[in-house]
Structure 1
């Protein structure tokens, strides 16, 4: 990535209404069989075109082929029974009916590799692919087999590493592990969560990233944010451990949050995907609002390590709003590029 301030998205983008019910998580597919497979590829083409039209530099699949950023990966694994469900509290925020781990978990086939190969064939742009992180996976299940969060996380880490290595071989340039659970279970993160994440990324030669946010713009998350006070200092609990890790990039939430941006200084030396787009609002940012967030971040991260991004995924938003936000992200980054260029001394 030689371009200064390369832009990307944190994860999901809205799906077309002909593929599933829009602006909804866990939306059922409207098609089946070969028709669904073809429709998913069409959606991949569309989401790629929209990112490129908006000027996004590092493109992704927008999670068009998956219903949910965690459960779609888990569905492919052996040892998890989706018919045997239990109610658990996810990330200490809301209750959900989840599948049960009934035996040893194992990956029996590639999950996203064919999709990654398809996307790679459509573009010469750098490609980022998101996978759920081990700790977030265990927080989305009921474990009736291992009966140990740590043991199950290490098993998932090994499985994720298998998938990540094949994604890398398929031409993916950045593999991002989504770990919103890192903002909740601080003691576990520092004791074994970061180590499990490193196991998931073991042996990869491509760029690796961890995405830690405050969640989709759904009511359970926005209600939780209201309880966090005037300063959100969750990153302070885990960034020192992450800074020492082998993970090269950190994706975090900044715009319209109460995260003190000086906390970015705790991961000095890492590349930082700065969330400059609020995914919990239908208001489209102006390019100058994006630029203002990036200017603040540049006090704590070097320009060659700053990657403008969204706070989180945008699946619950309308396609029109998401397009506007992507355009604003690109335009805001360009404002800062020009400012930085003007500051350079003449040759």
Structure 2
């Protein structure tokens, strides 16, 4: 039976304090070798359990086996030197020391397949797995080899397609590509970014999603948001072309943002993961606040295509806050679900 308004998270959940330092991105692991492998699996079980306790419908690994949503994937590729680092501006807003592309990029072996297989063994619920999108990968590196963002993105798209096909084969129901860069480099998105994303999903039969947000709740992102004015219309630049793409689901940021909700009209017909939980605040949404966001979205998204979700990943939050926010998401979705059922 198909669930009405199936809930999910955008990706990461906080890691247990025994695995990595809490409330911190890129937090180093506290365990090593076999202890680390076992610890990651235990953390994945906990993240799954917390989603299940909160009645989340489409579950994930909470990215427990990854230090970072982009670099953990890149670490497993050939052609990228992590010792040779350069300072670049990421997403056009903050500087970071990043690895260097020094030769042709390739994927010598699968990256997340064993982790995804483990998650699949733990549950019969639909599972979603997140991968970095090609453009966001390009934006997180210094390229000394291809000297072309577009050419490097196409290479990454081929590699991502290999990984995605293997994720599908082990039972992943939805493969999500994280593309925060789509909210920044509009000309590139329309020129080649969406095309590269379509190359990454080529030949897949499972559902595919693209997650486009305004970033984790870290200072560099919250400071940037303050410069965006009273209306955040970035989605307007990329939605028309995304609406024509082969991507099944678009995941976006709504709650507590200045995104005009009517922009959703530009992607009517697509399934939409509506971010109804703010990940840049420790304030716990009430179920009614979540329901209010979803009701507004229903003016532009058909009920059978609306997937209540978080704005972005919750890795930088405390586990207590994240848990409470998951419960609010589920309770808010249930309010609107009951309203829809009573109208039938």
Give the TM-score band, short-chain normalised: over 0.9
Residue matched to 1:253 = 253
Q: How does 1:1-347 map to 2 (within 5 A)?
A: 2-344=2-344
In the alignment, the residues of structure 2 paired with residue 289 and residue 44 of structure 1 have an alpha-carbon distance, to the nearest angstrom, of 29
| Root-mean-square deviation (Å) | 0.5
TM-score, normalising length from structure 2?
Answer: 1.00
Instruction: Give distance in 2, aligned partners of 1:190 and 1:267.
Output: 15
Q: Distance in 1 between matches of 2:330 and 2:10?
A: 14
CA distance in structure 1 between the aligned counterparts of 2:341 and 2:260, rounded to whole angstroms: 27
TM-superposed CA distance for 1:16, in Å, is 0.2
**Mapped partners of 2:22, 2:164: distance in 1:** 29
Q: Matched residue of 2:78: which SS?
A: strand
Q: How many Å separate the matches in 2 of 1:243 and 1:179? A: 16
Q: For 2:278, what is the secondary structure of its paired residue? A: coil
Structure 2 SS opposite 1:79: strand
- Which stretches in structure 2 are left out of the alignment for 5+ residues? none
Q: For residues 159 and 67 of structure 1, what CA distance do their matches in structure 2 show?
A: 20
Q: Secondary structure at the match of 1:204?
A: coil
Q: 1:342 offset after TM fit, Å?
A: 1.0
Deviations for 1:171-192, whole angstroms, at most 9, x for unmatched residues? 0000000000000000000000
Q: How many residues align structurally?
A: 344
Q: Deviations over 1:196-238 (max 9, x none)?
A: 0000000000000000000000000000000000000000000
Secondary structure of 1:23 counterpart: coil
Q: 2-side partners of 1:108 and 1:210: how far apart? A: 25
SS at match of 1:81: strand
CA distance in 1, matches of 2:23, 2:226: 23
Q: Distance in 2 between the 1:183 and 1:120 partners?
A: 32
Partners in 1 of 2:262 and 2:113 — Cα distance?
A: 38
Describe the SS at the equivalent of 2:146. coil
**Secondary structure of residue in 2 paired with 1:101:** strand
Tell me the distance in 2 between the aligned counterparts of 1:189 and 1:246: 15
Residue ranges of structure 1 left out of the alignment (5+ in a row): none
Query: Could you say what secondary structure the match of 2:316 adopts?
Result: coil
